[in-house]
Amino acid sequence: MSSSASVIRTDGLTKKFGRVTAVDAVGLDVREGDVYGFLGANGSGKTTTVRMLLGLVLATSGSIEVLGEPMPASGRDVLTRVGALVEGPAAYPHLSGRANLALLDSAGPDGPRRTRDRRIEESLERVGLAQVDRRPVRAYSLGMRQRLGLAGALLRRPRLLVLDEPTNGLDPQGINEIRRLLLELNREGTTVFLSSHLLGEIEQLCTRVGVLDGGRLVLQDEMDALRGPTGRTEVRTPDPARAREVLASITDVDVEPADDGLLVRGLDPADLNDRLVSAGVRVSGLAPERRRLEDVVLAATTSGTDRFGREGERP
Amino acid sequence: MIRAELTKLLRNRRTWGTIAIINALPTLVAVLLAITDLGPRPGTGPAFLAAVLTDGTLFPLAALAMVLPLFLPIAVALTAGEAIAGEAQQGTLRYLLVRPVGRTRLLVAKLVAVMAFVVVTVLVVAVVAYVVGVALLGDQTVTVTGPTTSVSGTPMSTPELVGRTALAFGYAMLCMLGVAAVALFLSTLARTPLGAAMGAMTLLVASTLLLTLDAAQALHPYLLTRHWLAFVDLFRDPIRWDDVVRGVLVQGAYVVVFLGAAWASFTTKDITD
């Protein structure tokens, strides 16, 4: 993965609104083929960063490269290959969904009229709006608007999708559909940059994660690395007291109680299992403990302590 | 982009509603004149209104003189005020810009759409006023090709009248371009379309009020609305050019300054709506 081309790269990206620093020296690194999860609480500077990537907000300092070209200088060229959903969908309320897509497509470059109707139908099909009638967008539900926004982003088969909270307003089934759609697009070669405050969404979809906290990128790494083993072993047993006694006699072994068993550090799982079973302790489950994304993110965003994941941060 | 803007304008029901309202006033006036036959005495009242009692074909000019000081500029202020701020409030501005549509290009397209609105409105006013004028007030010179009299009282041939009417409508268009430039600039600043439109209308009202105030004499030549009705001079014999030329210069200055300001403001703006 590390050898693939960079799709989004920012260096020292900073935005100040008056005296408030909204985004502070952020160094994003999104690579071709990633599903990149951009996490952060509301007000952490996520949206401002996304808007800077798209040339809507102009950076105070720092540089941005999208698809290998500088933004916003090359915006006219770059943005034709980018599909975006920024802070909720928007459409002209008195026009139908199809009319909105046609209008948007005709407004900019690289949207050939020859293929327009076909592209519109394909996009609507992909987002589950193929059967939508001629009613104006004014009469759409929140979920339908969200789907229409996504259809607009897909209209020109972009190489990069920048999506801000794409599952807002969707019911659980809709969320699942969109999730499957994004994975499918990713398999077809689209890089996805997904900004969200929903940990679960990011955890299920993403291959890389960046965490923004107070305008600073406090964490950026591969999902697998973040959810790596902690070095402890989870033991599920109906006899926790007995197990503790057995383990207490071994030096350099650390034991903590857990929900339905123990957390053990200092022994590899096979060895641990052998000792417990030979001492007559019944074991119903035993596995290396993995970090949860939530814990990693919470550790990274708790201020005042030495932050975890410093190395993921670029100057 | 310009095509997209025009589509948007023409498919908006409000555009046609506004045009209908603008047409209501001259039509009402024509009906009242026809019923009562009580026109203002020659030389008093709104321009051309005295003349239309004897010649209904002059009614388009009378209608223009009626809508130009207030109705038309308000409609222009609303339309141009909405141009950027309306898209921003609706959220569609960010999607247009990432489509991508260049900011300068978008501004130009918006201005073209506003002017198209003015052209359509003025044409509809002219056609409706002609039909209404001939139908209600009659064509008392019997033939449309017959001589009409100028404001100065001398006869005017039809080709001359058509030429001068075209000039007058062109002049009115330039006046509206001035309003559009101001409203477009405010539209790049304001958070809501109403704010931008109100700002432009405030300037119109202030300009109109100051024109009635002798103490503001020094400001008069530079006020936005000062020379708007100078198009009446185009129907004098010979044509009195001085006010018309001054009007063109003042409007031109407003257009250049405010369009420049709109461009500078919009191309450097953070789009956070």
A 10 A CB-CB count for A116 gives 15
Question: Tokens at residue B99, please?
Answer: 């489509």
Rounded-to-10 torsion of CA A258, A262, A267, A269: -100
Decide if pLDDT at A82 tops 70: yes
Q: How many CB pairs under 8 A join A and B?
A: 77
Residues of A numbered 69-88 whose beta carbons fall under 8 angstroms of chain B's beta carbons: which are they? Answer: 75-76, 79-80, 82, 84, 86-88
To the nearest whole Å, the CA of B64 is away from the closest chain A CA by: 31
Nearest residue in B to A91, CA atom = B92
Q: What is the Cβ-side half-sphere exposure of residue A223, based on CA atoms within 13 angstroms?
A: 20
User: What is the reported pLDDT for A294?
Assistant: 84
- The model's confidence at residue A217, banded by pLDDT at 50, 70 and 90, is very high
- The model's confidence at residue A315, banded by pLDDT at 50, 70 and 90, is very low
pLDDT digits over B174-207, tens only? Answer: 999 999 999 999 999 999 999 999 999 999 999 9
A 10 A CB-CB count for B158 gives 14
Question: Tokens at residue B171, please?
Answer: 């002049």
In chain A, the domains with their CATH numbers are 6-226 (3.40.50.300), 229-290 (3.30.70.100)
Question: Tokens at residue A23, please?
Answer: 């985004």
Is-cis flag, bond preceding B100, omega within 30?
yes
Q: Which of B91, B99, B102 sits opposite A90 (nearest CB)?
A: B91
**A285 with A236: CB under 8 angstroms?**
yes
- If one compares A289 and A61, the residue with the highest pLDDT of the two is A61
User: What is the reported pLDDT for A31?
Assistant: 94
Identity of residue A171: D
User: What is the reported pLDDT for B41?
Assistant: 65
Q: Which residues of chain A lie closer than 8 angstroms to B272, CB-CB?
A: 48, 51, 56-57
To the nearest whole Å, the CA of B239 is away from the closest chain A CA by: 45
In sequence order, the 6+-apart residues with CB closer than 8 A to the CB of A294 are A199, A203
B4 in A contact zone (CB under 8 Å): yes
A 10 A CB-CB count for A265 gives 14
**A55 with B97: CB under 8 angstroms?**
yes
To the nearest whole Å, the CA of B200 is away from the closest chain A CA by: 25
Nearest residue in A to B102, CA atom = A76
Given a cut of 70, the residues of chain B with pLDDT beneath it are 39, 41-47, 53-54, 139-154
User: What is the reported pLDDT for A302?
Assistant: 63
To the nearest whole Å, the CA of B271 is away from the closest chain A CA by: 5
Q: Which residues of chain B lie closer than 8 angstroms to A89, CB-CB?
A: 91
pLDDT digits over A23-53, tens only? Answer: 999 999 999 999 999 998 888 899 999 999 9
Helix axes B71-90, B103-132, angle to 10 degrees: 140
Decide if pLDDT at A169 tops 60: yes
If we measure between CA atoms, which residue out of A254, A256, A286 comes closest to residue A273?
Answer: A286
Decide if pLDDT at A307 tops 60: no
Cβ-based burial of A268 (10 A; exposed 0-12, middle 13-18, buried ≥19): exposed
B88 in A contact zone (CB under 8 Å): no
B91 in A contact zone (CB under 8 Å): yes
Q: Which residues of chain A lie closer than 8 angstroms to B102, CB-CB?
A: 75-76
Q: Which residues of chain A lie closer than 8 angstroms to B101, CB-CB?
A: 107-108
Q: What is the 3-state secondary structure (H, E, C) of chain B?
A: CHHHHHHHHHCCHHHHHHHHHHHHHHHHHHHHHHHHCCCCCCCCCCCCHHHHCCEHHHHHHHHHHHHCCCHHHHHHHHHHHHHHHHHHHHCHHHHHHCCCCCHHHHHHHHHHHHHHHHHHHHHHHHHHHHHHHHHHHCECCCCCCCCEECCCCCEECHHHHHHHHHHHHHHHHHHHHHHHHHHHHHHHHCCCHHHHHHHHHHHHHHHHHHHCCHHHCCCHHHCCCCCHHHHHHHHCCCCCHHHHHHHHHHHHHHHHHHHHHHHHHHHCCCCCC
DSSP A151: H
In DSSP terms, A213 is beta-bridged to: A216
CB contact under 8 A, A79 and B98: yes
CB contact under 8 A, B98 and A103: no
Residues of A numbered 149-208 whose beta carbons fall under 8 angstroms of chain B's beta carbons: which are they? Answer: 152
Question: Tokens at residue B221, please?
Answer: 């030549």
The answer to whether the predicted template modeling score (pTM) of the entire model surpasses 0.80 is yes
Helix axes A142-154, A116-127, angle to 10 degrees: 130
Rounded to whole angstroms, how far apart are CA atoms B180 and B79? Answer: 8
